[in-house]
Amino acid sequence: MTGAETTRTGLEGRAFVLATDLDGTFLGGSDEDRQRLYGWIEDNRATIGLIFVTGRDPQFIGDLCRERGVPWPDYAVGDVGTTIATVSPETGVAPIAHLEEEIAARWGNAGDRVRARLDGHPGLTLQPTDFRYRVSYDIDQQSFDASACEIVREMGHDWLISDNRFFDVLPDGVSKGPSLRRLVEHLAIRPERVLCAGDTLNDLSMLECGLPAVAVGNSEPALIDRVAHLEHLHMAKAHGAAGILEAIRALGMHDLPEGY
């Protein structure tokens, strides 16, 4: 166990843990809604745990918390599930090596091979970040050639299109949901006390993984179509941060003050 991990333990004793996507979800909604949610979390850190489950990379997470006043999470499942890390103001984002061993093995240093096979593929623009266990592209929907999906599967990897804007190449079987479940089990958190929140298709595996869940009101239609039947999921009317608060109340995950 790393030093960072030692200082950030204790989520198993929290009454409630929010495992939330960032863009459109935790960062979504009005300024007032976000401040309401963030202030409530900070006022109740003794009983609330916070996990970011995001497509964003570790540097973005650290910069977000340092520069924009967003609450520091206790842990992060980043890079669309390919990073599992402790998070703190002192150490930043520190991957938990033994939780990532299977992810690294499934990827097998495939980045250069994936980039070479998809170089110049119609409708794909490589994102400049040097991700460890994934390769990601921006999509131009008008020119995108779906044969990219077949190429990725032939290489033994998974592909994911979300928000009609992003194309992620991931290790086979790795995504937000399985990585979050691995972290929840590692931390001995009671599954029924974890609320998953998301808004796009890259949140699908998280919302489907069996933990209590919410699709916030601004979710992309393709996600809503896929999760509408889930009995453990609350379909929020409110957008972003307000949708998270709506679900916390509707599912009885934690006491909320009047007006929240």
Query: Are 28 and 9 contained in the same domain?
Result: yes
Residue 7 has what pLDDT?
Answer: 41
Residue 183 has what pLDDT?
Answer: 98
Query: Are 208 and 166 contained in the same domain?
Result: no
Residue 6 has what pLDDT?
Answer: 37
CA separation for the pair 217, 250 (Å, rounded): 14
Residue 5 has what pLDDT?
Answer: 41
Query: Are 182 and 229 contained in the same domain?
Result: yes
Residue 150 has what pLDDT?
Answer: 98
The token pair at 98 is 């033994």
CA distances from 253 to 77, 191, 214 (A): 21, 12, 12
Query: Are 26 and 129 contained in the same domain?
Result: no
Q: Which domain holds residue 131?
A: 109-171
CB 238 within 8 A of CB 245: yes
Query: Are 190 and 77 contained in the same domain?
Result: yes
Query: Are 138 and 242 contained in the same domain?
Result: no
CA separation for the pair 84, 102 (Å, rounded): 11
Query: Are 71 and 24 contained in the same domain?
Result: yes
Residue 260 has what pLDDT?
Answer: 80
- Where is the domain boundary, 171, 203, 223? 171
CATH number at residue 34: 3.40.50.1000
The pTM (predicted TM-score) of the whole model is: 0.94
Structural domains in the chain (count): 2
pLDDT tens, N- to C-terminus, the chain (260 residues): 343 343 444 899 999 999 999 999 999 999 999 999 999 999 999 999 999 999 999 999 999 999 998 999 999 999 999 999 999 999 899 999 999 999 999 999 999 999 999 999 999 999 998 899 999 999 999 999 999 999 999 999 999 999 889 999 999 999 999 999 999 999 999 999 999 999 999 999 999 999 999 999 999 999 999 999 999 999 999 999 999 999 999 999 999 988 78
